[in-house]
Amino acid sequence: MEKKNPEYRGQATGGCVKSACGGSQAQLSHLPEEIHKKVHNHPCYSEEAHHYYARMHVAVAPACNIQCHYCNRKYDCSNESRPGVVSELLTPQQAVKKVLAVASRIPQMTVVGIAGPGDPLANPERTFATFREISKKAPDIKLCVSTNGLNLPEHVDELVKCNVDHVTITINCLDPDIGEKIYPWVFWKNRRVRGRKGAAILIRQQQKGLQMLVDKGILVKVNSVMIPGVNAHHLQEVSKVVKQKGAFLHNVMPLISESGHGTFYGVMGQRGPTARELRELQDACEGNMNMMRHCRQCRADAIGLLGEDRNAEFTMENIEAMDIDYDTAMTKRLEIQKSIEAGRKAGVKRSNGVSVSFASFQQNAAPRSVIMAVASSGKGVIDQHFGHAGKFLLYEVSDRGVRFAGYREVEQYCDGNETCGETEDRLQRTIRALHGCEVVLCSRIGIEPWTRLEEAGIRPDGEHAMEPVEEALIAVYQEMLKTGLPEKSVPAEQQALA
Amino acid sequence: MAYTIVESCVNCWACEPLCPSAAIIAADPHFIIDAGKCTECEGDYAEPQCGSICPIEGAILNSLGEAINPPGSLTGIAPCRLAETKAEIQAR
């Protein structure tokens, strides 16, 4: 199916705003001391921690008990990076082994989550067997789980027993009339319950589960998928209600609905929100509660820092060959994490330095923002060759700072429609993916792509190789301000953010 | 009397733990039902469990070879209304 617009696959927005990078302590500072302690080292919850600590998801939970229109249950696909997608289904025993292996090799891995590929609580035996073993063998690791909420109330006690301290519930609505447009059916008490009735059961269970978790002192984050024309207008209300009930963070994510993913929404042509719509909603919700803006919507088997996936290093085959002495590893982990904590203070200072340079912009009228793309493997520095980048990180850079604005993926494979294939080479696809960007930063770039990028109106920049992303973006923006920002038509900018 | 899983199965595992007769086998390239074990859930549940959780229309057939979940039954959109619904959704 051909899309009307060149699609902006905005998987996430917000993020490394200069103030937020150094300032998430303040962002979370209203939280009670106990909660603050719990999230301090959690990369998914603390905007600052995501630069330092890593998490992993283990894919032990294949079955699902509801259908969401944005999900395709054919999850066995390694070409995609989005929630619910994994390549290797693990048994609980394999998962435990994998966790110990990763924890030994990546000492900054502090969190293990079960997020799918189905619903963890639709696979309670597998999920809880995994949690029980990990908490026994690696008590220093935090456990978290992500659920649609349908079976949540009946499992709250077991979650408490396993020492799970963070739960994410995906709540897309409070109103069954909206719910029936998102969830065609749920599997409830051994029957398939369709339409509004099914949605009403799901919503009731989610709200009940949220309340029970809060009462037990378990941290609850709420995820919502923003679907234009379906729940977009309703999510501010969701934000308000879940905060009232005690959720500590609300993460509004954009719908991902490419036709090639084979989801109902994708096939039917339901659009996702534009980056602007998403940001406006996130801004509107922020008055209600803490918003999470650095989410990268990672795969269900993601390993590493957010936005970086090292899963390929830890296949079961590789793990079987590893010799793991966890007691020794744990000692090492504690040492390294201590040194990270010492380094974090220094890091904050550096960010402050960056923001000072912004204060020195004495502009009468605020200069316009510039969309820049970055080729980075996700370690926070510009470390990828232009030709090797499978996806680009997008940032909106302005005098207010740097704002993560999502990903652009270079389509790697033919998805069967007539517009792809022999007629278009990889470079063309890459340039198309970068449509609307004015600058692309990479570690290196060849002469041909350089020329063709310039022809396409995108300035290649290879001068900031191995520099931290945000600092490099600011340097480029300052340079552009000095030489004068080129005129840019408003429609072009809108397209870039659309 | 037994159900059959056909090749449109996506191996999502949803049915496997629910079967009261342990008749579902996680096979390659897709899951299969052991016809000798399948009871169509008679005596255990009012509705066959695999057919009640399967997310794919047409992936499970009854003993007459008919789809337990015919086209439109899981999306909630009857095939005759597909074009109309699509237009509605694309206008969002």
Distance CA A122, CA B17 (A): 10
Helices in A6-151 by DSSP H: which ranges?
18-27, 33-39, 92-105, 124-137
Cis omega (within 30 of 0) for bond into B29: yes
CATH class (in words) of the domain with range A361-497: alpha beta
Residue with tokens 């109902």: A264
Q: A379 CA to chain B: closest CA distance, Å? A: 33
A129 at the B interface (CB within 8 A)?
Answer: no
Q: Do the Cβ atoms of A400 and A390 come closer than 8 Å?
A: no
Q: Which stretches of chain A drop beneath a pLDDT of 70?
A: 1-32, 34-52, 75-88, 287-311, 344-365, 379, 411-424, 488-498
Name the β-bridge partners of A66: A186
Closest to A227 (Cα-Cα) out of A296, A307, A170: A170
Q: A328 CA to chain B: closest CA distance, Å? A: 37
User: Which positions in chain B have a beta carbon within 8 angstroms of at least one beta carbon in chain A?
Assistant: 10-14, 16-18, 45-47, 49, 52-53, 55-56, 74-76, 85-86, 89-92
With beta carbons under 8 A apart, name residues in chain A contacting B13: 62-63, 89, 118, 123
- B13·A63 Cβ contact <8 A: yes
Residue A180: per-residue pLDDT: 97
Distance CA A156, CA A65 (A): 17
A257 at the B interface (CB within 8 A)?
Answer: no
Distance CA A121, CA A133 (A): 17
For A122, which residue in chain B has the nearest alpha carbon? B14
Distance CA B44, CA B20 (A): 7
With beta carbons under 8 A apart, name residues in chain B contacting A123: 13, 17
CA A194 to chain CA mean position, Å = 30
Name the β-bridge partners of B67: B61
* Structural element, H or E, at residue A194: strand A191-194
Residue A31: per-residue pLDDT: 63
Name the β-bridge partners of A372: A395, A439
Residue B51: per-residue pLDDT: 97
Token pair recorded at residue A3: 């899309």
Residue B8: per-residue pLDDT: 94
Residue with tokens 């993926």: A409
Q: Do the Cβ atoms of A288 and A357 come closer than 8 Å?
A: no
Other Cβ atoms closer than 10 A to A94:
18
Give the type of residue at A299. R
A92 at the B interface (CB within 8 A)?
Answer: no
Q: Do the Cβ atoms of A373 and A439 come closer than 8 Å?
A: yes
Q: Give the domain ranges of chain B.
A: 1-92
- A229·B47 Cβ contact <8 A: no
Candidates B52, B53, B54, B86, partner chain A, best to mutate (most A CBs within 10 A): B53
Q: Do the Cβ atoms of A256 and A70 come closer than 8 Å?
A: yes
Q: Do the Cβ atoms of A273 and A228 come closer than 8 Å?
A: yes
ipTM of the complex: 0.97
For A268, which residue in chain B has the nearest alpha carbon? B86
**pLDDT of B19 over the 80 cut:** yes
**pLDDT of B86 over the 90 cut:** yes
Distance CA A384, CA A377 (A): 6
Tens digits of per-residue pLDDT, A11-68? 222 222 222 222 333 445 556 676 666 666 666 565 555 556 777 888 899 899 999 9
Helix axes A124-137, A152-161, angle to 10 degrees: 20
Q: A8 CA to chain B: closest CA distance, Å? A: 16
CA A364 to each of CA A361, A367, A485, A489: distance values in angstroms, whole numbers, following the listed order: 9, 9, 15, 21
R_g of chain B computed on alpha carbons: 15
CA A148 to each of CA A53, A85, B49: distance values in angstroms, whole numbers, following the listed order: 26, 15, 20
Residue A46: per-residue pLDDT: 58
Residue A341: per-residue pLDDT: 75
For A60, which residue in chain B has the nearest alpha carbon? B13
What phi and psi values does residue A296 have, to the nearest 5 degrees? -105, 10
For A182, which residue in chain B has the nearest alpha carbon? B75
Q: Residue A236 in 3-state DSSP?
A: helix
Residue A159: per-residue pLDDT: 96
Q: A285 CA to chain B: closest CA distance, Å? A: 21
Token pair recorded at residue A392: 């680009």
Q: Residue A257 in 3-state DSSP?
A: coil
Q: B74 CA to chain A: closest CA distance, Å? A: 7
A127 at the B interface (CB within 8 A)?
Answer: no
Distance CA A290, CA A294 (A): 12
Residue B90: per-residue pLDDT: 95
A423 at the B interface (CB within 8 A)?
Answer: no
Helix axes A18-27, A469-483, angle to 10 degrees: 130
Homologous superfamily (CATH) for A22-320? Aldolase class I (3.20.20.70)
Q: A180 CA to chain B: closest CA distance, Å? A: 9
Token pair recorded at residue A251: 């993460």
Residue A404: per-residue pLDDT: 74
Topology of domain B1-92 in CATH is Alpha-Beta Plaits (3.30.70)
- B56·A194 Cβ contact <8 A: no
Name the β-bridge partners of B61: B4, B67
Distance CA A273, CA A278 (A): 6
Burial letters A9-33, b for 16+ CB under 10 A, else e: bbbbbbbbbbbbbbbbeebbeebee
Q: Give the domain ranges of chain A.
A: 22-320, 361-497
Burial letters A430-443, b for 16+ CB under 10 A, else e: bbebbbbbbbbbbb
A463 Rama sector, left if φ>0, alpha if ψ -120 to 50, beta otherwise: alpha
For B20, which residue in chain A has the nearest alpha carbon? A190
Residues near A422 by Cβ (< 8 Å), separated by ≥ 6? none
